[in-house]
Amino acid sequence: MSRIGVFGAGYVGLVTGACFADLGHDVTVRDVVPEKIDALERGEVPIYEPGLGELLERSAPRLRFTLDVHDAVEGADFLYVCVGTPPTYSGDADLSAVWTVIDELQGSVSGSGALVVMKSTVPVGTGEKVRAALDARGLEGVGYVSNPEFTAEGTAVRDFMYPDRIVVGSFDEADGDAVAALHEGIDAPVVRMDVPSAEMVKLASNAFLMTRISFINEIANVCEATGADVVKVAEAVGLDHRLGPHFLRAGIGYGGSCFPKDSLALKQLAANSGYHFQLLNAVIEVNELQKRRVIAKLEKHLGKLRGRRVALLGLAFKPHTDDMREAPSLVLASRLIAEGAEVRCWDPVADASGLLSGVVRCATPLEAAEGADAVVVVTEWPELADLDLAALRAAMRTPLLVDGRNFLDPDAAQAAGLVYEGIGRASQSSFAALPETPETAASDLRR
Ligand code: UDX
């Protein structure tokens, strides 16, 4: 069994560390945030990720946490870089955390044996730069391998243990063999290649998934205009074995820690190399517009939104995570507030306080819906499948339900007296007369 130092105790680092420890390796996870390390040492999990708590507990005998870089490097065979690479103002990936780790490693690794493994998502060419930096320091004996992660939040532990493939990009055959062998116990094809290609696999995979989402969202928008139902369309399209059913759920756009950042990074990577990546630009633009379409839907039924009360059900960028990074809910809530609407929200785990001001957080979906002129399903949390639609209708002031994820049953919603508006589905007729708010009444007088 090997000794592994993991740098970064975020989603990627914790899942990587815990899973390798579960496979029997000896793992030390190092982070620079003392509160995070303290919490982990107390057995607390600083992020919401299903299954991670149990895994950390189970692998505790082989898992340590530290603030000290030397603890993680000492005797380690593999040094996994799992730090964040957020976008900069230019859209390029910010590699400062990666370079800080590389600098620290250069000061701590002694000579040969250790292998630096890049799990953070980095632009193509980063590995070659790190290799050159290690060589310049006389660390030619320290290997470098690219081993990108493809785990999705909410299913990260399962994705790590049962991946579709393990990608290993190396400069040196033996280094690649060592990283491939580290994954023994995981039943998946190992795809070997050079370092730049491995870096590109990650960016290309994410870009393709985003392309599918923006594609189906555009089909949804055309469905809306032509009377087709995108849910049925996607089901049948997905049954074509050449296309497959995944990432064809129309909705209010993608968010999260990877897609928005990685699409910008790939766009900039291409642009910096003199190439205009037209398709990717369109994918990004479609997603930006998609997040705003809910506003138009609300206005179609309610008119001006000033003074209207809107309940957002779900805040996280997707269910089973508390991650608010690039969540469509943030754009939606900000637009609603800018239009003068009153926003109430519910989410079982995500907390937007500090990100959204002027939004009232409620303990239950029904509490959020109290006196609302519209309820918007923003994140398809399973809890919402059991929502009592009659009680929801009774709590609301105006019975408008915008299902931003096509998650609820339109017929059941209609039967409960709600006006249902999905994404890419035939729109139901609106209510005859709207109750007025003091603001709308006043603006009518001014007209
Ligand atoms: C993604 C990739 O799936 C993963 O391989 C990569 O390592 C990191 O980025 P993640 O961001 O955790 O993972 O979530 P994912 O489940 O892929 O969803 C991303 C976004 O796309 C969410 O906002 C989700 O709601 C949206 N989405 C997904 C759709 O709108 N429609 C779909 O059909 C699928």
Report the mean per-residue pLDDT for the chain: 93
User: Model confidence over 32-63: pLDDT tens digits?
Assistant: 999 999 999 999 998 888 899 999 999 999 99
Residue 446 has pLDDT above 50, yes or no: no
Cβ 249 under 6 angstroms from ligand 1: yes
Give me the mean pLDDT over the 70-99 stretch: 92
Catalytic residue among 19, 82, 258, 345: 258
User: Model confidence over 277-291: pLDDT tens digits?
Assistant: 999 999 999 999 999
Pairing of strands 166-170, 143-146: antiparallel
For atom 15 of ligand 1, the residue with the nearest CA is 152
Cβ 5 under 6 angstroms from ligand 1: no
For atom 1 of ligand 1, the residue with the nearest CA is 152
The pLDDT score that the predictor gives to residue 52 is: 94
Q: How far is the CA of 204 from the centre of ligand 1 (A)?
A: 14
For atom 5 of ligand 1, the residue with the nearest CA is 150
Assess whether 345 carries a catalytic annotation. Answer: no
- Order across the sheet with 115-118: list the strands: 63-66, 26-30, 3-7, 78-81, 115-118, 143-146, 166-170, 190-193
Cβ 259 under 6 angstroms from ligand 1: yes
Q: How far is the CA of 318 from the centre of ligand 1 (A)?
A: 8
Atom number of ligand 1 nearest to Cα 317 = 23
Q: What is the pTM of this model?
A: 0.92
Atom number of ligand 1 nearest to Cα 321 = 12
For atom 27 of ligand 1, the residue with the nearest CA is 254
> pLDDT band at residue 445, thresholds of 50, 70 and 90?
very low
The pLDDT score that the predictor gives to residue 272 is: 92
